[in-house]
Structure 1
């Protein structure tokens, strides 16, 4: 069970910001071996979602970008689940949290993600559809995906085909 905190950049404590940067570095730079500028300039405009376990360790993270920051639509990015929680429903919980926040902040607008191609099926079960062709992002195949404005956030995707 994760405890969720959603804050703007200015509301993050130094410890929360450090936790987020550390988890992002662990997953994207070390595990996925991607050398890229994680400090992309978008963080100050984002709403940051942090999922902490009962011991206070950050286990999941995502950020919601307002429309016009990266895409015309609001978008969800930097989705991370710590290795020890993968395959246990934390990714689903994280996406539901992020989708609900995005819908609440930007009602009536579709939402966009840049998804790793290997996770395309997972995101389709959450209501996203692929738009455009595959592209390389730091050596990993990605595809842009869009969820319509009226997407229903599923209660559970585990039973979906």
Structure 2
């Protein structure tokens, strides 16, 4: 199996092609595949650190974004975790999340990490050290729950 290539960049360093691929993948999965019309382009990408894997043809296969804490965001957040349909079941999202934890620790310190996870992924995120911090709620008509990782 080809080892995916890791990329990490702030918004300002994304190429037009990279940004297009990221938005296309997120739209394909979160809007079309999950049949959930919502505004994915939420004005937070500009402040995010973007991590992704590319296959040997330089197509983005797995993606997430890291949002640093701010005056209005009390924790570092990981979001928009997505894997292209053709690459699921290979452990890429777990590997990319582990890379995100390393990036956060190296660049932001051992900060608590918050996620708003789709409820069906509860056990997956628990296996990575996240703990449930809210009841299940609907976000864009999909069951979600808040989770927090404080141990490294």
TM-score calculated relative to the size of structure 2: 0.94
Q: Deviations over 1:19-42 (max 9, x none)?
A: 100000100011011111111010
Q: Deviations over 1:110-148 (max 9, x none)?
A: 110000110010000100000011110111100000000
Count of residue correspondences: 150
- Tell me if 1:91 matches 2:93: yes
Aligned to 1:19: 21
The root-mean-square deviation of aligned C-alpha atoms, in Å, is 1.2
- Of 103, 106, 125, which aligns to 1:104? 106
Aligned to 2:148: 146
Gap change, CA 1:95 and 1:15, over 3 Å in 2:
same
Indicate the larger mover: 94-103 or 1-10: 94-103
Q: Is the 8 A contact 1:51 1:61 kept in 2?
A: yes
Q: CA deviation at 1:103?
A: 2.0
The residue matched to 1:34 in structure 2 has which SS? coil
- Of 103, 125, 140, which aligns to 1:123? 125
Runs (4+) of structure 1 exceeding 6 A deviation are none
Aligned to 1:61: 63
The residue matched to 1:133 in structure 2 has which SS? coil
Rounded Cα–Cα distance in structure 2 between residues aligned with 1:70 and 1:122: 28
Aligned to 2:5: 3
- In structure 2, stretches of 5+ residues that fail to align are none
- In structure 1, stretches of 5+ residues that fail to align are 153-161
